[in-house]
């Protein structure tokens, strides 16, 4: 009875397909479930602590009320330093790779090294900056924290700049050259303008990446209980404060840690959504 | 054309052109300035590209330099010794290396199958209008900073595991011969297993998004041919898409492994920071990154600091090898597509 054999084999294949489909549904629900769970808990725990005081008062000693003003300010300063140092270097390096040396050996080596840097453990970056900046100078400093974050910004910006410039059509470069623009002006006035949305996205993604980075700051900018604008001294930052407060035994510190975590997450999500909408609108035009 | 040649062409054009002498001189000056600007910009970009190279070189050199005292003192013993005693200043990296490898292994064991199944869902089964939202949601999961996973793991996930999964594992698998030691001891909540599970959630989006990208790169003709001879969706996945995308998937998995190995904050909160190797997965342990994060600012002596930097060097070497292999594989599949 060959027909029944064929039919039962067919039924078996159908069954296996159904099992795989069910498993893939379950896997997707599992993956999305974590997102919902983490964001849900974060909103639940963090939202209650959100108040004006969080943005106007300093971090408190245990047992009293306070806010997160100095770590928020510190994080903004450190991020600004990182972007100011990292973006120009990243954009210039990406420019070389896409415009001048698209096919040279240097470019392929830099691309490989850059990809390694992109995924290198951030705590190792912290150790590196400790070795070259903190240990020789003998003190922790905001500068060191900013530079450590810049080291994380650079590979992100290099990558997106190169990718975006490569997408710029050659006809634009030829047109620019044909009206007598020197190469450097063709790049800065024509290619950069054409690739602008993508390059800005790269910077935004880099900011999103560093705004939650804790490991490289632990022993570069350290932490500061007080308001400080001195970049040569230890500087407070949100992630490090969250780390310290969450591991403390004090309930009000832990509550502030949740609030800080909520602020960081909202900032990161806002940045990545902005970046995403920038690229999608850039693609459309 | 060489620069000198180009210059001479310009000069000839200027000289032979019908122009007022003063204007020619002015033009030559402007051209010279532009030429200089061009050269400066070109060298600036080149210097920046070289700076990226120097950055990695700097990382390697500074780590080696910093770890020299520890390696000089303990030699090869550092890599295989289980002892970590800051008071008597005897340091061995084995518990940290063990913790790093085991937590990453647990993470990959969970994240790889789940991630592949999500990618399967997104590329083959999901209705078109739902693909983008789910894809974005998965990528948002990748964007959440690791410290958020850490604080969530410490306050929510670890107590939850302590109350549910861990007693269950102890009661059920804790009596099965051979694997019983893996699930022995009290349920602490924090420990190797918890850290591994949190890492799994963290690397899941990486595995998913890279597998989705390589699955999408499989030529439609291949899949259509398989459907044409009567394959089911799963069979197309299993016998056509997966073999074709194999190298890319392995590359993506290694990239995720690189992340898991070097992840610091999510692990530091829940690992328990105990420098010992326990048979039980439920016991507290430590990883390289967690040890550095926890102890670096407390390290009072030079030898202690150096031992921690040596740990960092070991971590860097491990991740470098994994990441380099991952990039090489992804490069191969990119070449095949391009």
Statement to judge: residues B145 and B52 lie in one domain: no
Residue closest to B210 by CA, chosen among B48, B320, B333 = B333
Question: Does residue B170 surpass a pLDDT of 50?
Answer: yes
- Across B76-87, average pLDDT: 89
DSSP string across A25-63: HHHHHHHHHHHHHHHHHHHHHHHTT-SHHHHHSPPPPTT
> Which of B32, B56, B73 is the last residue in one of the domains?
B73
**In the prediction, which pLDDT does B181 show?**
81
Residues B25 and B171 in one domain: no
Residues B186 and B244 placed together within one structural domain of the fold: yes
Kindly report the nearest CA distance between residue B5 and chain A, in angstroms.
Answer: 16
- Region of residue B239 (phi > 0: left; psi between -120 and 50: alpha; otherwise: beta): alpha
Same domain? B156 vs B34:
no
Question: Does residue B107 sit in the same domain as residue B220?
Answer: yes
Q: Establish if B228 belongs to a structural domain.
A: yes
Is the CB of residue A151 less than 8 Å away from at least one CB of chain B? yes
User: Do B51 and A158 make contact, defined as CB atoms within 8 angstroms?
Assistant: no
* pLDDT for A285 beyond 50: no
> Residue A175 has what pLDDT?
93
User: Domain boundary residue among B73, B91, B111?
Assistant: B73
* Distance, CA of B45 to CA of B52 (rounded, Å): 11
Task: Find all residues with CB under 8 Å of A233, minimum gap 6, and list them.
Answer: A139, A140, A141, A142, A224
Contacts with B197 from chain A: Cβ below 8 Å? none
CA A131, CA B52: separation in Å to the nearest integer?
18
Pairs of residues, one from chain A and one from chain B, whose beta carbons lie less than 8 Å apart: 260
Residues in chain B: 338
Domain that holds residue B66: 20-73
**How confident is the model at residue A216, as a pLDDT?**
92
Opening angle at CA B163, ends B159 and B165, nearest 5: 100
Query: How many folded domains does chain B comprise?
Result: 2
Reported as a single tens digit per residue, the pLDDT across A123-161 is 999 999 999 999 998 889 999 999 999 999 999 999 999
Residue ranges per structural domain of chain A: 2-48, 54-284
Of all residues in chain A, the percent with pLDDT exceeding 90 is 66
**Span B177-191, average pLDDT:** 83
Residues A86, A153: Cα–Cα separation, whole Å: 5
Chain A environment of B14 (Cβ under 8 Å): none
List the single residue in B with minimal CA-CA distance to A93. B49
Nearest by CB: A208 against B34, B143, B263? B143
Q: Residues A198-250: pLDDT tens digits?
A: 899 999 999 999 998 999 999 898 888 888 888 888 999 999 999 999 998 88
My answer on whether B137 and B96 are in the same domain is yes
Interval B221-244: pLDDT, tens: 999 999 999 899 999 999 999 999
Give the residue-averaged pLDDT of B159-172.
87
* Secondary structure (3-state) at A237: coil
Please state the pTM of the whole predicted model: 0.90
What's the rounded mean pLDDT across residues A62-66? 82
**pLDDT exceeds cutoff 50 at A284:** no
The pLDDT value recorded for residue A210 is: 93
Please state, in angstroms and rounded to a whole number, the distance separating the CA atoms of residues A241 and A41: 19
Whether pLDDT at A171 is above 90: yes
A75-117, pLDDT tens digit by residue?
A: 999 999 999 999 999 999 999 999 998 889 999 999 999 999 9
Compute the nearest-CA separation of B207 from chain A (Å). Answer: 11
Q: Cα dihedral sign for A194, A197, A202, A206?
A: positive
Q: What is the pLDDT of chain A when averaged over all its residues?
A: 90
Going by pLDDT thresholds of 50, 70 and 90, the confidence category of residue A282 is very low
Is B101 within a domain?
A: yes
String of b and e for B20-32 (b: at least 16 CB within 10 Å)?
A: eeeeeeeeeeebe
CATH homologous superfamily of domain A54-284? MetI-like (1.10.3720.10)
Task: For residue B94, give how far its alpha carbon lies from the nearest alpha carbon of chain A (Å).
Answer: 18
pLDDT at B240: 92
Pick from B47, B148, B327: which is nearest to A212 by CB? B148
Do residues B111 and B50 both lie within one domain? no
CB spacing of B289 vs A123 below 8 angstroms = yes
Tell me: do B118 and B257 sit in the same domain. Answer: yes
CB nearest B134 (choices: A32, A88, A119): A32
pLDDT reading at B1 higher than 50: no
**Percent of chain B surpassing pLDDT 90:** 53
- What mean pLDDT is predicted for residues B91-113? 94
């Amino acid at each position: 009875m060959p027909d029944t054999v064929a039919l039962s084999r067919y039924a078996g294949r159908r069954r296996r397909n159904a099992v795989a489909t069910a498993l893939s549904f379950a896997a997707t629900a599992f993956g999305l479930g974590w997102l919902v769970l983490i964001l849900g808990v974060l909103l639940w725990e963090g939202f209650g602590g959100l108040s004006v005081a969080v943005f106007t008062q300093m971090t408190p000693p245990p047992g009293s009320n306070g806010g997160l003003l100095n770590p928020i300010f510190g994080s903004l300063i450190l991020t600004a330093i990182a972007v100011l140092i990292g973006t120009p270097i990243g954009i210039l390096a990406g420019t070389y790779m896409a415009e001048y040396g698209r096919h040279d050996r240097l470019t392929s080596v830099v691309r490989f090294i850059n990809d390694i840097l992109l995924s290198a453990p951030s705590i190792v970056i912290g150790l590196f900056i400790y070795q070259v900046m903190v240990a020789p100078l003998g003190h922790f400093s905001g500068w060191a924290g900013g530079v450590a974050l810049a080291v994380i910004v650079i590979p992100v910006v290099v990558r997106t700049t190169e990718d975006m410039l490569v997408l710029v059509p050659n006809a634009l470069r030829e047109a620019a050259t044909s009206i007598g623009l020197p190469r450097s002006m063709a790049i800065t006035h024509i290619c950069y303008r054409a690739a602008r949305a993508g390059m800005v996205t790269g910077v935004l993604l880099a900011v999103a990446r560093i705004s939650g980075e804790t490991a490289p700051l632990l022993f570069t900018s350290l932490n500061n209980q007080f308001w400080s604008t001195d970049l040569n001294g230890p500087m407070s930052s949100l992630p490090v404060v969250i780390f310290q407060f969450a591991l403390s035994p004090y309930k009000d510190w832990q509550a502030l840690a949740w609030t800080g975590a909520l602020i960081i997450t909202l900032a990161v999500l806002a940045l990545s959504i902005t970046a995403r909408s920038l690229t999608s609108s850039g693609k459309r035009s | 054309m060489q620069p000198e040649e180009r210059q001479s062409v310009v000069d000839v054009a200027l000289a032979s052109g019908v122009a007022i002498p003063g204007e020619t001189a002015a033009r030559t000056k402007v051209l010279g300035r532009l030429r200089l600007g061009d050269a400066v910009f070109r060298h600036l970009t080149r210097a920046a590209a070289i700076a990226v190279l120097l950055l990695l070189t700097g990382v390697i050199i500074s780590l080696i330099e910093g770890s020299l005292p520890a390696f000089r003192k303990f030699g090869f013993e550092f890599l295989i010794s289980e002892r970590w005693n800051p008071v008597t200043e005897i340091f061995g990296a084995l518990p940290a290396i063990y913790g790093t490898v085991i937590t990453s292994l647990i993470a990959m064991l969970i994240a790889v199958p789940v991630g592949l199944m999500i990618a399967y869902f997104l590329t083959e089964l999901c209705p078109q209008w739902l693909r983008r939202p789910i894809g974005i949601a998965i990528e948002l999961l990748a964007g959440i900073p690791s410290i958020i996973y850490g604080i969530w793991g410490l306050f929510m996930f670890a107590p939850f595991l302590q109350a549910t999964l861990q007693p269950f594992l102890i009661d059920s698998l804790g009596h099965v011969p051979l694997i019983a030691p893996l699930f022995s001891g009290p349920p602490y909540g924090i420990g190797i297993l918890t850290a591994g599970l949190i890492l799994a959630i963290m690397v899941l989006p990486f595995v998913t998004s890279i597998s989705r990208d390589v699955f999408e790169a499989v030529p439609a003709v291949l899949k259509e041919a398989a459907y044409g001879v009567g394959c089911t969706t799963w069979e197309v996945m299993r016998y056509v898409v997966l073999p074709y995308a194999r190298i890319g998937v392995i590359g993506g998995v290694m990239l995720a492994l690189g992340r898991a190995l070097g992840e610091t904050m999510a692990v530091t909160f829940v690992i328990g920071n105990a420098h010992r190797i326990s048979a039980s997965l439920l016991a507290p342990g430590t990883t390289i990154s967690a040890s550095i994060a926890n102890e670096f600012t407390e390290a009072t002596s030079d030898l202690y600091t150096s031992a921690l930097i040596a740990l960092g060097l070991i971590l860097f070497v491990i991740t470098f090898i994994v990441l380099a292999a991952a990039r090489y594989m992804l490069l191969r599949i990119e070449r095949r597509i391009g």
